[in-house]
Amino acid sequence: MSQTSSPPNRFRLSVGDLTQLVHGTSRSEDAKMMVEGFASLGEAQKGDVTFYTDVKHAAALRQTKATVILVPEDWESEQLGVAFIRVVSPTAAFDLVVDRYGRQAPAFKAGIHPTAVISDSVTFNAAKVCIGAHAVIEQGAIIGDGATIGASSYVGHDVTIGKDTKLHAQVTIQDGCVIGDRVILHSGVVIGADGFGYEFEAGRHRKVKQRGIVQVDADVEIGANSTVDRARYGRTWIGAGTKIDNLVQIGHNVVIGRHCILVACVAIAGSVVIADYVVIGAQAGIAGHVTIGPQARLGARCGVTKDLPGGQSYLGFPAVPAEKEKRKLAGVSRLEKLNARVRALEKMLEKLA
């Protein structure tokens, strides 16, 4: 049995019952086969269920030791000696299995740890929030029902935290910031640190005061050790449903639209505007005061120096439409052969001279 299916994740389920769980279809002769765990194609062992979605994993599919494989509905079966369950989305179906039988996060349990430090002026219902050890909540804060404030987290003066929002351990939310409902902030997130603003005067850097806030709308998730700086004035604003990976830096007065995806190590300078449904790949950098249109897609390590229209894919530094960058890279890859041809022609000309 694979490591992923060892206790406490061990279970025992027939293929017939598994088919019902994932809303799929399978062969009747496989219905009584038993599944006892789950794993990836490469790690699965006898008794495991796994999933297959992409032809680039075809080699792993042929070599897998899994007992059951979740496959797309239109997949043509290969005779691998295993059972198949056809589903609309193998990834989503596999998630159903993991959600049901994988390790479960601790359920919400209201309560306030005796070491938490909470100002008398905080607005909250003690019977409907969970506040962990050594958390600090300052004057004027408002904590919504169902919220969790993790151990050693800090909630500054006049902060608002919405319903069912979860702060993992050691999250910091500085004064005045507004966090919506059902937001998830992972450990090390800092919301509302000063924006990075200085004016060079008389031979030294003068700090520009940052008096605005950060607003994080509903259903946003921000990964570990990411930072969202407060605005110089007004607000830095993260739109509803946006998902931000670990180690992302968002500068002051940035506006990010709804349902965007920002992958690890993205860095966004101040006053950038990012429209809805934008995807930004890992390690991309965006210069200040530019606008990125809706549904734009930025590849990893893009360097954005000017406004980009929406609905396109971009690559490179400076970022250009993906097809243009691909043609440039293809040309570069041919330079060695081109140089060799030029040298050969030069030698021929020398002989003719």
- Strand order across the beta sheet in which 261-262 lies: 111-112, 130-131, 148-149, 166-167, 184-185, 221-222, 243-244, 261-262, 279-280, 297-298, 313-315, 320-321
> Could you give the CA distance from residue 250 to residue 270 in angstroms, rounded to a whole number?
8
| Alpha carbon distance 332, 297 (integer Å) | 24
The 10 Å Cβ neighbour count of residue 9 is: 17
Is the pLDDT assigned to residue 244 strictly greater than 90?
yes
What pLDDT score was predicted for residue 6? 45
Task: Tell me how far apart the alpha carbons of residues 98 and 102 are, in angstroms, rounded to a whole number.
Answer: 5
Q: What are the start-end ranges of the H helices in the chain?
A: 15-21, 58-63, 90-101, 322-333, 335-352
**What SS3 state is found at 311?**
coil
Range 288-311 burial, b when 16+ CB lie within 10 A, else e: eebbbbebbbbbeebebeeebebe
- Per-residue confidence band for 292, with pLDDT thresholds at 50, 70 and 90: very high
Beta carbons within 8 Å of 336's beta carbon, 6+ residues apart: none
- Does residue 252 carry a catalytic annotation? yes
The answer to whether 304 touches 285, Cβ cutoff 8 Å, is yes
8-25 per-position pLDDT tens digit: 456 899 999 999 999 999
Of 97, 53, 62, residue with least CA distance to 81: 62
Q: What is the pLDDT of residue 79?
A: 66
Mean pLDDT throughout 263-289?
Answer: 98
CB of 296 within 8 A of CB of 314? yes
**For the chain, what percentages of helix, strand and coil (3-state, to nearest 5) are there?**
20, 30, 55
CA pair distance 96, 84, nearest whole angstrom: 16
Query: Is 282 exposed, middle or buried, given 0-12, 13-18 or 19+ CB atoms closer than 10 A?
Result: middle
Tell me the backbone φ, ψ of residue 223, rounded to 5 degrees. Answer: -80, 170
Instruction: Please give the Cα distance from 307 to 275 (Å, whole number).
Output: 12
Model pTM? 0.87
Coil vs helix vs strand at 61 = helix
List pLDDT tens digits, range 300-319: 999 999 999 999 999 999 99
* Number of residues that make up the chain: 353
How much is the pLDDT for 216? 98
The mean pLDDT of 274-301, rounded to a whole number, is 98
Cα–Cα nearest to 70, from 23, 13, 14, 29: 23
**Spatial distance between the Cα atoms of 40 and 65, rounded to a whole number of angstroms:** 10
**Fold of the domain spanning 111-314:** UDP N-Acetylglucosamine Acyltransferase; domain 1 (2.160.10)
Domain boundaries, the chain: 10-101, 111-314, 322-352
Provide the token pair at 10: 């061990």
pLDDT tens readout for residues 181-229 = 999 999 999 999 999 999 999 999 999 999 999 999 999 999 999 999 9
Q: What superfamily does domain 10-101 belong to in CATH?
A: MurE/MurF, N-terminal domain (3.40.1390.10)
- Secondary structure class of 15 (helix, strand, coil): helix
**R_g (Cα) of the chain, nearest Å:** 27
Q: Which of 85, 40, 87 has the alpha carbon at shortest distance from 65?
A: 40
- Separation between Cα atoms, residue 115 and residue 222, nearest integer Å: 26
